[in-house]
Structure 1
Amino acid sequence: MAARRTASDSSDRQLSLIERARRDQIIQITIDLVAEHGYAAASLTRIAQTAGITKGAVLYHFASKDAVVAAAHERVLGELVAAVGAAVDTVPAEQAPAAYVRRMVGHLTERPDHIRMIMGSVIIGDVSDASARWKPLASLLHDARQARGLPPGPDLRTLAVLTGGAIDGIIGAHMQDGDFDARDAAETLIAMLEGALFA
């Protein structure tokens, strides 16, 4: 059997086109399996069977199940961050918090597999830096106030944490009830956020 790849192997050498394609396939299958069946059901054997390869072939690319799931989680978060970042970059600073909320809710409601992947892989995630979630939004909130020439005001960390929790609530309600209008809820959240931010 070929030597197992580690995270450092892929950074030390250029992967071939075939290796990249296989890794992408394994990651996408993992996203689909975790989204459909949950973390526990997405075993290395099931990932391999779905990909039409051996378990050893999966282990050639990833050291463990957790490594595969972590790569899938990273891909989903990367796509979310890219989508939200692109939306925020197209508007003036004072409109960035609204663009953030709209695109976050929009992206997640458009990609229920991403929601399930994020939720399904939380158990292996490193939650040691919870600030990684609220700091970017707090920075947008700060810049929005500054763009309007407002002095320091409400605690931006609190606003960012509350906004993140509200987004989670909107997405959760949408997942539970397909008739729940997540976009309308996002607009209500934006009105509340801007009321507190720009008061």
Structure 2
Amino acid sequence: MAGKRPAPGSDGRPLSFIERKRREQLIEATIALVAEHGYAATSLARIAQAAGITKGAVLYHFPSKDAVVAAARTHVLDALVADVGAAVDAAPPGARPAAYVRRMVGYLTEHPDHARTLIEVLISGGRPDPAARREPFAALLQAAREARGLPPAADPRTPAVIAGGAIDAIVDARLQDPAYDSAAAAEALVTMLESTFLRT
């Protein structure tokens, strides 16, 4: 009996243009479905229906629901990291923590489907390593202190943890209430960081 055909790209060959576009379509459909209905209610059949193809066609590109959801999560994270990274890189070192806070809040409120997808994946057990988020921001805070001529902080992880929790809370408040002024909340967080951590 013949084995199952490997997913496109899994056998080492590059994806064709059509395969890349189909995968992108499936990822976008998955993001929209997870954001609207949650992880548990997003099935392969539902993904197929949203993409206008058969369930078998979905399985040609991804071996399981978890695989397509993982690809959607990676897509969302890559887009978030690229966007926030560009904003941080464009700022001078002393202003990079503020750029990070503003852009994290800005991106996630501008892309609520991405924010909801990340939340759903976390709830369903896809928790990333917290240090992967905390440590880069702690390094930005330390570099900002250095750029301002301040001595190194004993442990910049604490303000990084506090800021990460505040960003999550701001984005969640905006998701719950679209009238909530998340930009003003981001500015309040920047002011708090400036007054408590980035001054003598």
Contact 2:25 2:51 in 1 (8 A): yes
Q: For 1:18 and 1:153, how far apart are their aligned partners in 2?
A: 51
* CA offsets 1:8-29 (integer angstroms, 9 cap, x no match): 716x221000100110000000
Q: For 2:103 and 2:152, how far apart are their aligned partners in 1?
A: 26
Name the count of aligned residue pairs: 196
Q: Secondary structure at the match of 2:99?
A: helix
CA-atom RMSD in angstroms: 1.6
Q: TM-score, normalised by structure 2?
A: 0.93
Contact 1:30 1:47 in 2 (8 A): yes
Work out which of the residue numbers 4, 7, 13 in structure 2 matches 1:5: 7
More deviation, 156-165/44-53? 44-53
Q: For 1:178 and 1:28, how far apart are their aligned partners in 2?
A: 22
Q: For 1:168 and 1:52, how far apart are their aligned partners in 2?
A: 34
Q: For 2:149 and 2:13, how far apart are their aligned partners in 1?
A: 49
Contact 1:154 1:196 in 2 (8 A): no
> Quick one: which amino acid aligns to residue 113 of structure 2?
D
Contact 2:80 2:107 in 1 (8 A): yes
What does residue 162 of structure 1 align with? 162
Q: For 2:143 and 2:191, how far apart are their aligned partners in 1?
A: 18
Q: Percent identity?
A: 59
Q: CA deviation at 1:40?
A: 1.2
What does residue 143 of structure 1 align with? 143
What does residue 66 of structure 1 align with? 66
Q: CA deviation at 1:178?
A: 1.9
Q: CA deviation at 1:48?
A: 0.9
Over 3 Å counting, the alpha-carbon distance change for 1:97 and 1:109 in structure 2 is same
**Unpaired stretches in structure 2, ≥5 consecutive residues:** none
**Unpaired stretches in structure 1, ≥5 consecutive residues:** none
Q: TM-score, normalised by structure 1?
A: 0.93
* CA offsets 1:40-92 (integer angstroms, 9 cap, x no match): 11100111112121111111111110110010011111111111000001110
> Quick one: which amino acid aligns to residue 176 of structure 2?
Q
> Quick one: which amino acid aligns to residue 176 of structure 1?
Q
What does residue 76 of structure 2 align with? 76
